[in-house]
Amino acid sequence: MLTSLKRIMRTGSVGFVRSAYVSFSAIYVMTITLLVIGGSLVFNALLDHTLVTLKSKVDVNIYFTVDATEEAILAFRRQVESLSDVKGVTYLSRDEALAQFRDRHQADELTIRALEELGDNPLGASLSVTAHDPSQYEGIVQFVTETSEQAETTIIDRINFNQNKSAIDRLTTIVSVIDKITQIIVMTLVFVTILITFNTIRLAIYTAREEVSVMRLVGASNTFIRGPFVVQGALYGIAAGILTLILLYPIAYYLGPSTDAFFGLNVFRYYLEDFGRIFLILMGSGIGLGVISSAVAISRYLRI
């Protein structure tokens, strides 16, 4: 059995080398398909990283009225901190808010002059609330709203969670749409790849028709006759996978600094750190496409 396997591998390798020019089209299209698959892996990693980063920065900012006393605000803070969904609460006093406002607008003389003419601090204190999970923010906002409505005198001016939530929802929708578009493109290229590889194997079968006839006459098994064509298909996938990995390296290296500055994730570093998974996906996809195309072509055109 081992001897037969070696012969099948050798025969398939000889057929692959002998029909190298014919096989070029299959390898070329398969490489494009694998490049799209590899690119989608990297691009999805960028979008996921951006989404996770944005979610980690989301919080609920509760702004209090100017006349709210610090005692009432701190009491309200203790209520919020008692919630199991709350990870942390940061208190910003009126004086601290004013100091931050001055720092942000220190170059704007008109704004600073207008602030000084007021004579009093127009800014209220605030609480920045972070949750353990972004899905828990709505419950926190509901608690804050109900608590404020039940109080005799409300000390809450506004809550800004809705703006943050809409940004997260929009980004999530964009990621979902891009993922679906990528899937459609990949499936289209997979179909084209299978079709071209199918025709390449078909041509290989036609070219080797006399050898197949001789093998039939000498009593070769069906596995021995079909095996080399499956090996050829797998070799197309291996060649395309290796070529794709080689091409992705300089692309990731070139784009690394740009993606690091824009998305906060260096795709070149991601490519190196996650190379094992990328290697398995691309090589597995390439070999799978080659073997499936070969199996379909054999079942249709190699009658044994």
Domain ranges of the chain: 2-54+168-301, 66-154
pLDDT at 270: 92
pLDDT at 247: 94
User: Could you tell me which residues are beta bridge partners of residue 156?
Assistant: 64
- Please tell me whether residue 128 adopts helix, strand or coil conformation: strand
pLDDT at 303: 61
Positive/negative CA dihedral, 48, 54, 59, 63: negative
Residue 56 amino acid letter = S
Nearest by Cα to 214 from 23, 11, 5: 11
Beta strands in the chain (DSSP E): 60-64, 86-92, 126-131, 156-159
pLDDT digits (tens, 9 = 90+) for 53-66: 777 777 788 888 88
pLDDT at 221: 66
- The stretches in the chain having pLDDT less than 70 are 1, 3-4, 162-165, 167-168, 171, 205, 207-222, 224, 301-304
Can you read off the two tokens belonging to residue 233? 């298909």
Burial category of 253 from C-beta neighbours within 10 Å (exposed 0-12, middle 13-18, buried 19 and up): middle
pLDDT at 220: 61
Cα separation, 245 vs 31, in Å, equals 10
What's CA 95's distance to the chain center, in Å?
Answer: 43
Domain 66-154 has CATH 3.30.70: yes
Max CA pair span of the chain: 106
Contact 180, 272 (CB under 8 A): no
Cα separation, 226 vs 205, in Å, equals 9
pLDDT at 99: 87
